[in-house]
Chain A
Amino acid sequence: MEKRPRSFYVLSVVFALFVLFLYGPTITIGILSFQGPEGGLTFPMRGVSLNWFHELFQQQAVGDIWGAFRRSFALGLMVMVTTVVVSVMAGLAFRKRFPGSGLLFYATIASLVIPSILISLGVGLIFNQLGLKVHWATSGFGAQLTWTLPFGLLIMFAVFNRFDRSYEEAARDQGASAWQTIRFVVLPIIAPSLIGVALFGFTLSYDEFARTLLTAGSYNTLPLEIFGMTTNVTTPVVYALGTLTTAFSLLIIGAFLLLAWVMARRRARLGSDAGKGV
């Protein structure tokens, strides 16, 4: 093997420092959330306990964390399903050049780069002017889609740009209808990438703060609830909540990765024998 240049070692150190920078603070609050009952927001640790997690489950003065969690979870699932379905449909649409596609593409990009607070303010104002009540499942849902759909569509672009069209042609030659081609050829091939779209949809929604701020109504989602806590809770209970939600996010990522891995294995096992001369 070729000898590593000196720059490799320098850059390895830089990379390691970057990873430390990314994870260090989160790991620190993870450790601090196990403070003893006398402990504060910084080191030193005054004993080790589950006290602050326990406090979290007591939910006295801190508001409705579990209600907020349930709402965020439900909203995340709604956004996830919608993002997958709408992104796939739009991805299919963009494979052909239909009139207006350029405009729609730029609108999608605009949706990605327009400051979140504008969406939040605008949606809030519309509901206000129409005399509708803002609610996480209506205005909040729509506002979040303007953030998740562009990500979903960009992933679909990447997927379809690398898609081998000869599979579809083969299906058509065998007499499959357009719908059958999509259902039995295209969708199974792109299925693993859809896990990525779903992961984006769920987690972006689950953590979204700015777009939900003025559109969630009287029932907070979890990020809003956490923000409320950061301004008026000065005990490690806020770290405990941080640790729990981070752990939950990691669990979700892990579940999606596992799903992708299982699908890849299944595919390898049940793969086609075409061209192998069987």
Chain B
Amino acid sequence: MKVTRETVTGWLQAAPLTVVLLGFLLAPIITIVIVSFWQATEFSIIPAFSLENYQFLFGSPVTYKVFAATFRYAFITWAMTLAIGFTVAYFLAFHIRSQTVQIALFLLCTIPFWTSNIIRMISWIPFLGRNGIANQALMSWGVIDEPLEWLLYSDFSVILAFVHLYTLFMVVPIFNTMMRIDRNLIEAARDNGASGFQTLVHVIIPLTKPGIMIGTIFVLTLVMGDFITVRFMSGSQRANVGRLISNDIGLLQYPSAAATAVVLLCTVLIMIAILLRFVNIRKEL
């Protein structure tokens, strides 16, 4: 390998990023992997190699239940964010003709992304609570006689919050790829007699696939690793893997938390590896 002046400049320019990633991404992950093989008492962690944490993890039916719940949350949220995100992006990209309006409406969708997630979760309480707006409205319309209890602190509210928080991560990449589709292709489809629906299925969806994949990666990883939305929106009544980890942390059981974290990490990485087979991220930027 020839080290040129240009290579050295490149390395120097990339050095700060590399240092941060080594110190705060790679080192933490290595530490988690090491600690996951350690033992713990109630008061301290003992650096002695053992498979105890993994044996416990894989031997416990709770683990499988919680992983199943995590996948269920991830799948349902993914399906809903994709349906909503695709529709919204499609509307903005193909139905809004003025670019100014397009940008304005797009910004309108992105602004909530910039405010606190926890505040956005709290803001569902007056809607979904026992005396909340939803129950009061349904009762005054005569749809129900008694307040629905499952609106808040249930799987329903958890998924609703996920969709509320993360749909944007679907809208942005899909909108971005849609904007780059050559409009002549759509006209060509129409000139050849394709209906709007046929154009959508045979032209737009295939060309939008990279955006869908990137959005999918975002939503899946965010939901899989989440612990706060599940805790908050389920009123601590539901669990996913993230909560399993944060509970162990709360009990200062770091090695056990680390083992769960390693399994979660592997799961997420395998999922991403599969998704990346469908799209070349670097080409899409």
Q: Is A198 at the interface (CB under 8 A from chain B)? A: no
Q: Is A157 at the interface (CB under 8 A from chain B)? A: yes
Shortest B73–chain A CB gap in Å is 13
Q: Is B6 at the interface (CB under 8 A from chain A)? A: yes
Query: In the complex where A122-B29, A145-B20 touch, is A89 in contact with B14 (Cβ < 8 A)?
Result: yes
Shortest B5–chain A CB gap in Å is 9
Query: In the complex where A25-B164, A28-B133, A203-B114 touch, is A114 in contact with B265 (Cβ < 8 A)?
Result: yes
Shortest A198–chain B CB gap in Å is 13
Q: A107, B25: Cβ atoms under 8 Å?
A: yes
Partner of B254 from the list A118, A125, A145, A227 (CB cut-off 8 Å) is A125
A241-259 CB mask vs B (1 if < 8 Å, else 0) is 0100110011011000000
Task: Report the separation of the CA atoms of residues A140 and B285 in the bound assembly, to the nearest whole angstrom.
Answer: 29
Q: A28, B31: Cβ atoms under 8 Å?
A: no
Shortest B102–chain A CB gap in Å is 12
Interface residues on B, range: 35 or more
In the bound complex, residues from chain A placing their C-beta under 8 Å from that of B28 are 118-119, 121-123, 125-126
A109-131 CB mask vs B (1 if < 8 Å, else 0) is 11101111111011101101100
Kindly identify, within residues 92 to 151 of chain A, every residue whose CB is under 8 Å from any CB belonging to chain B: 92-94, 96, 98-101, 104-105, 107-111, 113-119, 121-123, 125-126, 128-129, 142-143, 145-146, 149
In the bound complex, residues from chain B placing their C-beta under 8 Å from that of A23 are 112
Spot the interface stretch: B49-57, B61-69, B120-128, B205-213: B120-128
In the bound complex, residues from chain A placing their C-beta under 8 Å from that of B11 are 93, 98, 100
In the bound complex, residues from chain B placing their C-beta under 8 Å from that of A252 are 114
Query: In the complex where A89-B16, A98-B6, A246-B115 touch, is A25 in contact with B123 (Cβ < 8 A)?
Result: yes
Task: Report the separation of the CA atoms of residues A232 and B132 in the bound assembly, to the nearest whole angstrom.
Answer: 20
Q: A146, B25: Cβ atoms under 8 Å?
A: yes
Q: B164, A19: Cβ atoms under 8 Å?
A: no
Shortest B154–chain A CB gap in Å is 17
Shortest A97–chain B CB gap in Å is 8
Query: In the complex where A116-B225, A146-B24 touch, is A249 in contact with B115 (Cβ < 8 A)?
Result: yes
B214-243 CB mask vs A (1 if < 8 Å, else 0) is 000110010011111000100000000010
Task: Report the separation of the CA atoms of residues A5 and B95 in the bound assembly, to the nearest whole angstrom.
Answer: 9
Q: Is A56 at the interface (CB under 8 A from chain B)? A: no
Shortest B251–chain A CB gap in Å is 13
Kindly identify, within residues 178 to 228 of chain A, every residue whose CB is under 8 Å from any CB belonging to chain B: 178, 199, 203, 207, 209-210, 213-214, 223, 226-227
Q: Is B32 at the interface (CB under 8 A from chain A)? A: yes
Q: In chain B, what residue has the closest Cβ to A203?
A: B114
Query: In the complex where A15-B88, A117-B227, A238-B122 touch, is A145 in contact with B112 (Cβ < 8 A)?
Result: no
Shortest B45–chain A CB gap in Å is 9
Shortest B165–chain A CB gap in Å is 10
The contact sample of 8 A-B pairs, CB cut-off 8 A, is A11-B90, A25-B120, A41-B129, A87-B17, A104-B21, A114-B265, A126-B31, A207-B114
Using a CB–CB distance below 8 Å, which chain B residues touch chain A?
Answer: 1, 6-7, 9-18, 20-21, 23-29, 31-32, 35, 84, 87-88, 90-92, 95, 105, 108-109, 111-112, 114-120, 122-127, 129, 131-133, 136, 164, 167, 196, 217-218, 221, 224-228, 232, 242, 245-246, 249, 254, 257-258, 261, 264-265, 268, 272, 281-282, 285
